[in-house]
Structure 1
Amino acid sequence: MAQDLRDVTFVQPSPSAINSFPVFVAIGEGYFAEEGLNVTVESINGSSAVLQALAAGQAEFGRPGPGPVLAARARGEDAVFIYNVAARSNFGVVVRADSDIQGPEGLRGKVIGTGTADGAEVGFARNVMAGSGLTEGTDYEFLTVGDGGPATVGFTTGAMDAYSASTADAAILNQRGMAVRDITPGEFARFFGNGIATMGNVIETDPELVAGFVRAFARGHAFALDDANRDTVLAHLKDANPQEGEDVQFQSALFDAVRSKTIPVDMTNGLGYQPPEVWEEWQDSLVSGGDLAAPLPDLTAAYTNEFTAMAHEAMK
């Protein structure tokens, strides 16, 4: 019964239901309720805001990017990644489809737009540019323009030459008639994107809460990957964000794009697994790009695969 459920808040860095689809599927299918949880979703602006909400105790779980999580830990905040949602990079540096720019080197002396000033997309773009030997402030500039309509305006006015976009952002731009093309080198696909995080004290004081949340989330994720459930999944997502579901064809295409990024290249360890070697690469790139002053004292404290392993056992 509803009165017996524990209220839990999940914060996401954008209002898109599709970007957080396992949460809404788990809500719609009753998986959280089966774990004794009543999950409320709140949308705020960017990964840094998500982490601030977690640190302030305003939410138990959120969906930040790995770069902001490491930056938060460097500030002394005990944020911990517990589930790798975007197992393949869900960001890309895009240019207008008719642009002459073919790769990061072509952005020397140019402006790259971002949705937020300090979200996951900023760190990702900085890594991509550093991979081509380009340094922010010397070889290129970032400009915070917002997402959706403002990003379209950024291109049409010439305020920006490229945009660090999520899979959803790029799909929306194309849907709105602003055709864009991804110029991100292929090797950056290994840099997984946003995932589920909580605070260390939540794990320490209430591990059953974390285990239950991850079990339900993983079930929602697996349910959504089964094409037999497609119509049900899209209905849950429309309930969560009616505006996103107004154009059924667009909703379906956007879901396909986002869902594809959540399937690991190697399924040996199942959904949600975080490769330690990629965490090392994330940290190295953030240090070289200046986002981190130095490597963390203990990188392994930033993430755990314990709860996904437990969830997989429970789902067998």
Structure 2
Amino acid sequence: MTTRRTFSKLLAAIPVVGLMSTAAMAQDLREITFVQPSPSAINSFPVFVAIGEGYFEEEGLNVTVEAINGSGAVLQALAAGQAQFGRPGPGPVLAARSRGEDAVFIYNVAARSNFGIVVREESDIQGPEGLRGKVIGTGTADGAEVGFARNVMTSVGMTAGEDYEFLTVGDGGPATVGFTTGAMDAYSSSTADAAILNQRGMAVRDITPPEFARFFGNGIATMGDTIANDPELVEKFIRAFARGHAFALDDANREAVLSHLKDGNPQEGEDPEFQSALFDAVRSKTIPVDMTNGLGYLPPEVWEEWQESLVAGGDLPAPLDDLTAAYTNDFSAMAHEAMK
């Protein structure tokens, strides 16, 4: 049975979207917090769909979603025990592990890269080589978009602070200002960021080399202690999440999906045409090229490439002692089997 949720927006120093079900509160459900690196419901659409369709409730969970600023903040919340699950990028997870934080990737949401370096449509810059001596804007100082951009620039032999500069400008309106004032020459953006810039009249184009599409983006993470001490919780969360993901990929469910996303972030639903187009753009990045292993699978070979690029770019001081400890496909495999 589909369960409608009543969503409330929590106000704090940073944007927070809280999701609580009055029906769930009357039941004996376990309270779980999920943190995401931006307020967008579309970027975390499987969570909002799983809430709206009642999949978490069927697993005995009542999930509250809170939006904080960037992957670094997501990992800090997980490490501090303020949340059980979050959606950081792979670069920040590896960096956190190099500092001794036992964060573990458990589901690949953005199976195809959901980041790109964009420039203004009329810019003469045609590729990353054209950014020598230039400024690349980012939404956050330590988010996944920074590691991605550094990775791209390392591939053409350039080092941040020497050959180009990063500038934290924020997303949305501040990114538009960054371009119009000339404070930045390019912007490392998510698929959603680029769509929003274009929708607001700041036409941009992607100059990222196509080979970087294999570098998956943000996914679901938790702490190693949670996996060791409460594996049943992780299994339940990922099973419901994967069901929400699969439901949203079926166009027959489109109307229900967009309704759930509007409940999660009413502002994104104010322009239905834009909401629909943005959802299509984000959703397309979550479909694996090879569905053999189902949704959520994390390719070990791309983890190796991520680590190599982060070491080369200076984001990691050295390769991790055990890269395989940074991720697991166990829970996505369980969910895949359960949905067959």
What TM-score bracket applies, with the shorter chain setting the length?
Answer: over 0.9
1:294-305 alignment, distance < 5 Å:
294-305=318-329
- Of 303, 307, 314 in structure 2, the residue corresponding to residue 283 of structure 1 is 307
1:193-212 alignment, distance < 5 Å:
193-212=217-236
Amino acid at match of 2:199: Q
1:63 alignment counterpart: 87
SS state at 1:4 partner: coil
Query: Aligned partners of 1:48, 1:128: CA distance in 2, in Å?
Result: 20
SS state at 1:244 partner: helix
Amino acid at match of 2:281: A
Deviations 1:184-222 (A, max 9, x none): 000000000000000000000000000000000000000
- Of 209, 229, 243 in structure 2, the residue corresponding to residue 219 of structure 1 is 243
1:258 alignment counterpart: 282
1:238 aligns with 2:266: no
Deviations 1:219-260 (A, max 9, x none): 000000000000100000000000000000000000000000
Percent identity among equivalent residues?
Answer: 87
Per the TM alignment, residue 290 of structure 1 is displaced from its structure 2 partner at its CA by 0.5
1:160 aligns with 2:181: no
Deviations 1:132-184 (A, max 9, x none): 11111111000000000000000000000000000000000000000000000
1:8 alignment counterpart: 32
1:1-316 alignment, distance < 5 Å:
2=25, 3-316=27-340
Query: Aligned partners of 2:108, 2:337: CA distance in 1, in Å?
Result: 17
2:4 alignment counterpart: none
Query: Aligned partners of 1:244, 1:200: CA distance in 2, in Å?
Result: 34
Query: Aligned partners of 1:13, 1:157: CA distance in 2, in Å?
Result: 26
Query: Aligned partners of 1:289, 1:154: CA distance in 2, in Å?
Result: 24
Query: Aligned partners of 2:212, 2:142: CA distance in 1, in Å?
Result: 19
Per the TM alignment, residue 112 of structure 1 is displaced from its structure 2 partner at its CA by 0.2
Per the TM alignment, residue 313 of structure 1 is displaced from its structure 2 partner at its CA by 1.0
Query: Aligned partners of 1:110, 1:301: CA distance in 2, in Å?
Result: 37
Per the TM alignment, residue 27 of structure 1 is displaced from its structure 2 partner at its CA by 0.1
| TM norm structure 1 | 0.99
Query: Aligned partners of 1:134, 1:299: CA distance in 2, in Å?
Result: 25
2:15 alignment counterpart: none
* Structure with bigger RCO (C-alpha 8 Å, 6+ apart): 1
Amino acid at match of 1:136: A
Query: Aligned partners of 2:314, 2:162: CA distance in 1, in Å?
Result: 13
Higher deviation after alignment, 131-140 or 160-169: 131-140
Deviations 1:86-127 (A, max 9, x none): 000000000001101000000000000000001000000000
Query: Aligned partners of 2:272, 2:214: CA distance in 1, in Å?
Result: 31
Q: How many residues get paired?
A: 316
2:17 alignment counterpart: none
> Which aligned runs of 4 or more in structure 1 are off by greater than 4 angstroms?
none
SS state at 1:112 partner: strand
2:11 alignment counterpart: none
Query: Aligned partners of 2:331, 2:254: CA distance in 1, in Å?
Result: 26
SS state at 2:34 partner: strand
Deviations 1:19-43 (A, max 9, x none): 0000000000000000000000000
Higher deviation after alignment, 130-139 or 149-158: 130-139
CA RMSD of aligned residues (A): 0.5
SS state at 2:32 partner: strand
Amino acid at match of 2:247: F
Query: Aligned partners of 2:221, 2:113: CA distance in 1, in Å?
Result: 17
SS state at 2:187 partner: strand
Query: Aligned partners of 2:160, 2:35: CA distance in 1, in Å?
Result: 30
Amino acid at match of 1:150: P
2:12 alignment counterpart: none
SS state at 2:146 partner: helix
Query: Aligned partners of 1:140, 1:158: CA distance in 2, in Å?
Result: 15
